[in-house]
Structure 1
Amino acid sequence: MDTTRNTVLEAWMKEHGHSANSLAEAVNTAAEQLTGRTGGHDGSSVRAWKSGRIRWPNAVTRKALELVTGLPATELGFVPRGRAQSTPAPQQEDPDMKRRTLVGGIAVAAAAAAAPGTAPRRIGMSDVDRLQQRFAEIIASDHRHGGQLSIEQRAAALADEALNLQNSGAATQRVRSHLYACAASFRSSAMWAAIDGRRYDDAQRHMREAQALAEMSGDQAIKFRIWSHAGTMYRHMGRPADALAANDVARNLNITRRDPMFASLGLARQAAIHGVAQDRTGTRRAFDQAQDAMDRADPHAVRPVWLIAFYDQAELHSLALSAYLTLGDYPTAESHGHRCLASLRPHMVRSRAITTTRLAHAQLHQGDADAATTAAMQVPATAATQHARVSRMLQEFGAALRAKAPGSPTVQTWTEHTAAWRTSA
């Protein structure tokens, strides 16, 4: 017999009269109770659990299984990542499993705490603080590089670390809530990296798990981040109605009434969505309201690291640049682009590349091919070739430039420059 088969789950299903399809249906119903969305499992999912091809389902699935069976995942024969195994694990087929490699000392501590014959360790705020430090590192990496698959994978792995820590010892409810918030934070960063890299299927998968974790944490700030990201994701996908609906969930959270800075971000992103919807009046009104809310916000208030790391006057101008560019109001877009670049903080490397590229588009559409090309050539080669959004926008810039000034010296300059980019990348 294949020693990796989950014979414990098989025995439970037999005892309770469940087929693969009936268990999948029960888990989907439980997932809907947890997240508001029906799970996507079928009989093949359950067979993957039984065969051992999926040894540790994602967090929402584990919680749903616990609701259905009344047992924790470990008592159903599932094996947490990072736990020692007597035989090599087979190749995983679940995409989540491919992404999650435990890293860092927290997972080591968790595995040691769970080892047989040792007393359960006490999980405390010092463990949460270590996770939050790792989250700050993810945020910093995102602002330097943005959209990279490695960032997405690292954030997803750290989300698993936070969840594994839940099962490694005793903790107060306050600590457990913080651990769920940490897991949701990491998962939302994985979601954002996937959005930024235009990997939208992966982004939506991260979103669903992040939403469930945020609900378990009760943390309003991380709920805001996830739903606000969802609005941005749908905006990039060209689905403004879904974008507005998701962004409205964020904007209706109590935290936007307690802190005008959250309200400002929600309104700024709403304005950018109105731009995609070609709603000029809505765009202008929302930006005016976003600016007013930012002006009212207490500059000394304590806020999450992910918010203070990026949202400021420069980001407000960046979103305005995006909106007015989409609306075809190129002079206004250019004005916001210059103001954004003038106030961007040094660590916002990814944002500078995106803003510079959008500024070049705004200038080109006003007929200034030389200024536009000079601006576009300021984008670093790494961003131009490795960041999916920037790369696509620059390809579109090149096509528009060739259409507006065919055979011109400016086109030749741009062609030579992009060839050098590809060589240096």
Structure 2
Amino acid sequence: MPTADPFAELLLQLRKKAGRTQEQQAEAINAVSGRETVTRREISRYESFENVPTNHTLAHIAVASGVPFEELQREAKAARARKRVSRARDKEDLDDMKRRTLLGGAAVGAAAAAEPWGRLAFALSKGSQIDTPSAAALIDRAADLHVQELNVSARRLQSTVESHLDAITAALPRAGEHERALTIAAGETAALAGWLAWDLGEHDKAAAYYKVTSGCAENAGHPPLRALALTYASYGAPTAKRLEFLAQASQDVRGRGNATAAAWVLGRHAEEAAAVGKDTEALRALDKARFAYDFADHTAEQAWVRFVTPYRMDSLTLSVYGQLRRPELTPTADTALARLGEELPDGGVVVLGDLASALLRGGNVEQGVYVSRQFAAASQAKPNTMGKERAASIAAWLPDSERDLSAHFRQFAV
């Protein structure tokens, strides 16, 4: 067995202070680097002093653990020298004092709560320094995760998003001049973590993430971030609260650079207004949403708006027209089906659900049943909370001749 070393012990304690398993530590480091290069086995090798990380990997470990790279690099250099020269026991406590110092600050703060949102809430009150390349890497990674959400299932993406939230949380106490940008990136990541949790039926967990997203918005002075939390939260809020949340979100996304965000918020407002019979309000909000989306610069706005795709806008429009039994439903349905094509994205499952429900509500029963069967197959393959909600809605509108299909949807929605 390899002889224990202070640097190996330091890496072990940094991981434990962050409340991570070896596998989670590997995921956190990979979340910083944006590559799947470190494995659980490699973490084990570091902690048993079988191997010392390269400086490239050390930079990612430093960000993931919230400690200065220069100090970690210096400790690693000393460890390599000890490894070459001797494994003598009198060297094992060489850097004990330095280790205790290193384990202060961010790493201790990260251990203050058992869940990622708790660690983030703790970190928001801290401040120090992190270098510009590390901050940029964390911010870029947060943006990339919102893009991945378009094509990767909630179950597959959840651990990656939570690991990246841990990485930003560990970095926040040393953010320095990058504090505001990292706080915004942390809020965007927390909101995505909340959405994935809600999509997987973990509603209390989702609410906790949304709450800390709003905290990030307040700390950073960035209202669109609160709009993101409120609009996500509107899907699971009590009916009486939904329009209230969306009205505040609409205020938060006013101004230049928020057109795509405004399109989503207004589309949600239209959907909820239609659900409670506010026809004029719903159509006015939908018109504003579509106008904003058509003229938005989707690539130059906040990272999180990248999930507001044409599929999502189709889904919102279908939902509104179906609930209001508008004549525009049929051409809109044709456009949505053509856009989906043969390769159905994850977001397309919800579009199919909205399309089936809208057709049935609008009186086009034959086509509604046909699309309902397509939705049944797709939602079974890619289950999520929104899909289950659509299933319950479809079941309520299917004709008596489709009792078996209705029963299938009711069982699926449970």
CA distance in 2, matches of 1:346, 1:310: 20
Whether the 8 Å CA contact 1:132–1:182 is kept in 2: the answer is yes
Q: Structure 2 counterpart of 1:248, which letter?
A: A
CA distance in 1, matches of 2:342, 2:307: 11
The residue matched to 1:123 in structure 2 has which SS? coil
Aligned length: 317
CA distance in 2, matches of 1:125, 1:271: 41
The residue matched to 1:256 in structure 2 has which SS? coil
Q: Is 1:304–2:230 an aligned residue pair?
A: no
Q: Structure 1 counterpart of 2:384, which letter?
A: H
Q: How many Å apart are 1:366 and its aligned residue?
A: 5.2
Relative to the length of structure 1, the TM-score reads 0.61
CA distance in 2, matches of 1:416, 1:393: 14
Instruction: Tell me the residue number matched to 1:281.
Output: 280
The residue matched to 1:248 in structure 2 has which SS? helix
Matches within 5 A, 1:361-400: 361-365=357-361, 368-379=364-375, 381=377, 383-385=379-381, 386-394=383-391, 397=394, 400=397
Whether the 8 Å CA contact 2:311–2:347 is kept in 1: the answer is no
CA distance in 1, matches of 2:326, 2:309: 23
Q: How many Å apart are 1:101 and its aligned residue?
A: 7.3
Instruction: Tell me the residue number matched to 1:164.
Output: 170
Q: How many Å apart are 1:154 and its aligned residue?
A: 3.1
Q: Is 1:83–2:83 an aligned residue pair?
A: no
CA distance in 1, matches of 2:179, 2:20: 32
For structure 1, list consecutive stretches of 5 or more residues without a partner in the other structure.
1-79, 92-97
The range that moved more, 389-398 or 274-283, is 389-398
Q: Structure 1 counterpart of 2:241, which letter?
A: D
Instruction: Tell me the residue number matched to 2:185.
Output: 182
Q: How many Å apart are 1:90 and its aligned residue?
A: 11
CA gap 1:102/1:125 in 2 versus in 1, 3 angstroms: same
Q: Is 1:360–2:356 an aligned residue pair?
A: yes
Whether the 8 Å CA contact 1:268–1:316 is kept in 2: the answer is yes
Query: Pick from 313, 316, 322: which aligns with 2:313?
Result: 316
Q: Structure 1 counterpart of 2:236, which letter?
A: M
Whether the 8 Å CA contact 1:144–1:348 is kept in 2: the answer is no
CA distance in 2, matches of 1:366, 1:285: 20
Q: Structure 2 counterpart of 1:358, which letter?
A: D
The residue matched to 1:143 in structure 2 has which SS? coil
CA gap 1:363/1:270 in 2 versus in 1, 3 angstroms: closer
Whether the 8 Å CA contact 2:227–2:252 is kept in 1: the answer is yes
Whether the 8 Å CA contact 2:257–2:300 is kept in 1: the answer is no
CA distance in 2, matches of 1:210, 1:277: 28
Q: Structure 1 counterpart of 2:221, which letter?
A: G
Relative to the length of structure 2, the TM-score reads 0.63
The residue matched to 2:236 in structure 1 has which SS? helix
CA gap 1:370/1:269 in 2 versus in 1, 3 angstroms: closer
Whether the 8 Å CA contact 1:357–1:394 is kept in 2: the answer is yes
Q: How many Å apart are 1:263 and its aligned residue?
A: 3.1
Q: Structure 1 counterpart of 2:190, which letter?
A: R
Q: Is 1:104–2:38 an aligned residue pair?
A: no
Q: How many Å apart are 1:187 and its aligned residue?
A: 0.3
CA distance in 2, matches of 1:266, 1:221: 10
CA gap 1:348/1:215 in 2 versus in 1, 3 angstroms: farther
CA gap 1:215/1:292 in 2 versus in 1, 3 angstroms: same
CA distance in 1, matches of 2:16, 2:198: 35
Q: Structure 1 counterpart of 2:228, which letter?
A: R
Instruction: Tell me the residue number matched to 1:37.
Output: none
CA distance in 2, matches of 1:352, 1:134: 25
Whether the 8 Å CA contact 1:256–1:263 is kept in 2: the answer is no
Instruction: Tell me the residue number matched to 1:67.
Output: none
Q: Is 1:205–2:212 an aligned residue pair?
A: no
Instruction: Tell me the residue number matched to 1:19.
Output: none
Q: How many Å apart are 1:336 and its aligned residue?
A: 2.9
Q: How many Å apart are 1:202 and its aligned residue?
A: 2.0
The residue matched to 2:252 in structure 1 has which SS? coil
Q: Structure 2 counterpart of 1:363, which letter?
A: L
CA distance in 2, matches of 1:90, 1:102: 9
Instruction: Tell me the residue number matched to 1:225.
Output: 228
Q: How many Å apart are 1:162 and its aligned residue?
A: 0.3
CA distance in 2, matches of 1:363, 1:254: 32
Matches within 5 A, 1:130-145: 130-145=137-152
How much identity, in percent, do the aligned residues show?
18
CA gap 1:277/1:286 in 2 versus in 1, 3 angstroms: same
The range that moved more, 278-287 or 112-121, is 112-121
Q: Structure 1 counterpart of 2:192, which letter?
A: S
- What RMSD over aligned residues (CA atoms) do the two structures have, in Å? 4.2
Whether the 8 Å CA contact 1:377–1:417 is kept in 2: the answer is no
Query: Pick from 198, 215, 218: which aligns with 2:218?
Result: 215
CA distance in 1, matches of 2:20, 2:309: 47
CA distance in 1, matches of 2:301, 2:343: 19
CA gap 1:176/1:82 in 2 versus in 1, 3 angstroms: farther
CA distance in 2, matches of 1:268, 1:306: 16
CA gap 1:256/1:265 in 2 versus in 1, 3 angstroms: farther
CA distance in 2, matches of 1:191, 1:415: 30
Q: Structure 1 counterpart of 2:349, which letter?
A: A
Whether the 8 Å CA contact 2:142–2:189 is kept in 1: the answer is yes
CA distance in 2, matches of 1:263, 1:152: 26
CA distance in 2, matches of 1:208, 1:265: 20
